[in-house]
Structure 1
Amino acid sequence: MPTQTLSAVSIAKVLGTHVATWLRNLSRAKSARQQESLKAINKVILALRLTQAYSRGLQEGQQNHSTEGEIAVQWTELGQELERLGLKSLAKKCDVAGRYWADPGQLDAEFLRQAKTDFASVEKLARGLQVKIKLGKP
């Protein structure tokens, strides 16, 4: 009979050790995921700056289709990365921005207005997500 009790105690200890290890690994994974999310959001802010600078050049008549293609790819990649990380609202805005820069004529002004893909809206969302992630509430 005492052997069964020891067996149950031993099993409980092994399970406790495994649960503790699992929780530590989960905490590390959560931290890594947060860092990965923050890195992606930082890339969004950099893409915003690049796009804002290019847009200023456009207003001065300096269009470059190659640059527009690079901007389109950058926004599209960010959208895919953010989607994978579960940051869906920002991912959708990035995807729309990528589609727009690939072919500005494919999306009408009303759609873009409703999608809130203007620089200020995208940056506000990105900065808000940064704060939430840093506080541990993504």
Structure 2
Amino acid sequence: MKSKLKMKDEILEYTHKEIENIKESFCKEYEHKIQAVIEEKDKEIHAMQKKFKDLNEENTENKNEIAKLGKMLEDANKKIKKRDMEMYILLDENKKQKEKAAKKMNKVNELLNNLQKEYTDNIP
């Protein structure tokens, strides 16, 4: 009977060890699978972070370019306004010069008419 009990104890101990071995191998297998999934997800996260960084840099570059273009547009508008003002001044001066020239032409025509009248009046 003692030997049967001893044998039962050995069987139980062996079974317990086998169960532990199975658990351990099962856990290791899933640890490897979990580790593989974690590594894959880490790679995906790294790729997404890199893409985010690249897009953020591109966005910053685009903002800087927009700011430069905005400044260029502002400068161009200032130059256009300045040119328009200069043209307005020149047109105004031109108008005044034309008015002066027209007055002088009227005086010249009056003088010519007077000369012609004197000439025709003095013809016998």
TM-score (norm 2): 0.48
Greater RCO, 1 or 2 (C-alpha within 8 Å, sep 6+): 1
Select the structure that is richer in helix. 2
Please give the TM-score of this superposition, normalised by the length of structure 1: 0.44
CA radius of gyration, larger in: 2
